[in-house]
Copies of this chain bind each other. A is one copy, B any other.
């Protein structure tokens, strides 16, 4: 057992040693009033698994997380961002110093135009005015220099088309797409199945597995991309 533990320790990859990695995770909350909010089904598990794995592999990891019930992974600097606007601020101000950014958070696309202070009193039916939030990935893609930028796409149909389109529009290096029409993987599940699409046209599928394993595989590809960029510069 002791030998197995020692062996496991030394065989662990430390391929992110010296790298600064920023991971986003979880859902944002968009306030309607002091009680009610808009959110989505992301629980943060996938992003937390990526952050934990990157830390184990030697990276200096910052995890910008929506409010979740998850404990902060060991050795990770966690920053909580409640809303899409909070997340935009926390991510963009740290971007320049990063080597790798993995945007696993499910950031709200829309937020109430006029959130209320206090608790809205009930009345008749009404229409809640929603406005677009800032597009964090597009902002990072536009500012990207040496960074490797990895995004996620949750799609219920035409996975490849939408994912490749998002990869291109947002100037990503890699996008990990998952099919949310499947009940057995993805949101709130411990397992995931990821379709990876690369900027150079390649694609790879990570078969259904624990999110911890999917995170390790995703980082294997991110490490390759980091190495390629290192050689180019």
Which residues of A does B touch, CB under 8 Å? 32, 34-41, 69, 106, 108-110, 113, 118-119, 122, 124-132, 154-157, 180-181, 187
Tell whether, in the assembled complex, residue A132 and residue B125 are in contact, meaning their CB atoms are under 8 Å apart: yes
Please list the 7 inter-chain residue pairs (A to B) with the smallest Cβ-Cβ separation, ordered nearest first. A127-B127, A118-B156, A69-B69, A128-B128, A119-B156, A125-B131, A36-B40
A40 / chain B contacts, CB cutoff of 8 Å: 35-37
Tell whether, in the assembled complex, residue B32 and residue A37 are in contact, meaning their CB atoms are under 8 Å apart: no
A34 / chain B contacts, CB cutoff of 8 Å: 156, 180-181
With both chains docked as a complex, state the minimum distance between the C-beta of A28 and any C-beta of chain B, in angstroms.
11
| A-B pairs with beta carbons under 8 Å apart, 15 shown | A32-B38, A35-B40, A35-B41, A35-B180, A37-B39, A69-B69, A110-B126, A118-B156, A119-B155, A119-B156, A125-B130, A126-B130, A127-B129, A127-B130, A128-B128
A108 / chain B contacts, CB cutoff of 8 Å: 36
A194 to B106, CA, bound (A): 36
A106 to B34, CA, bound (A): 13
A63 to B213, CA, bound (A): 36
A34 to B36, CA, bound (A): 19
Tell whether, in the assembled complex, residue B128 and residue A122 are in contact, meaning their CB atoms are under 8 Å apart: no
- CB-based nearest B residue for A67: B188
Tell whether, in the assembled complex, residue B125 and residue A129 are in contact, meaning their CB atoms are under 8 Å apart: yes
User: Most chain-B Cβ atoms within 10 A of its Cβ — which of A37, A108, A113?
Assistant: A37
With both chains docked as a complex, state the minimum distance between the C-beta of A72 and any C-beta of chain B, in angstroms.
16
Tell whether, in the assembled complex, residue A118 and residue B35 are in contact, meaning their CB atoms are under 8 Å apart: no
A69 / chain B contacts, CB cutoff of 8 Å: 69
A127 to B110, CA, bound (A): 10
A39 / chain B contacts, CB cutoff of 8 Å: 36-37, 39
- CB-based nearest B residue for A69: B69
A132 to B120, CA, bound (A): 13
A69 to B69, CA, bound (A): 7
Tell whether, in the assembled complex, residue A128 and residue B130 are in contact, meaning their CB atoms are under 8 Å apart: yes
User: Most chain-B Cβ atoms within 10 A of its Cβ — which of A35, A125, A128, A187?
Assistant: A35
A157 / chain B contacts, CB cutoff of 8 Å: 118
> Which of B32, B125, B130, B132 interacts with A113 by CB under 8 Å?
B125
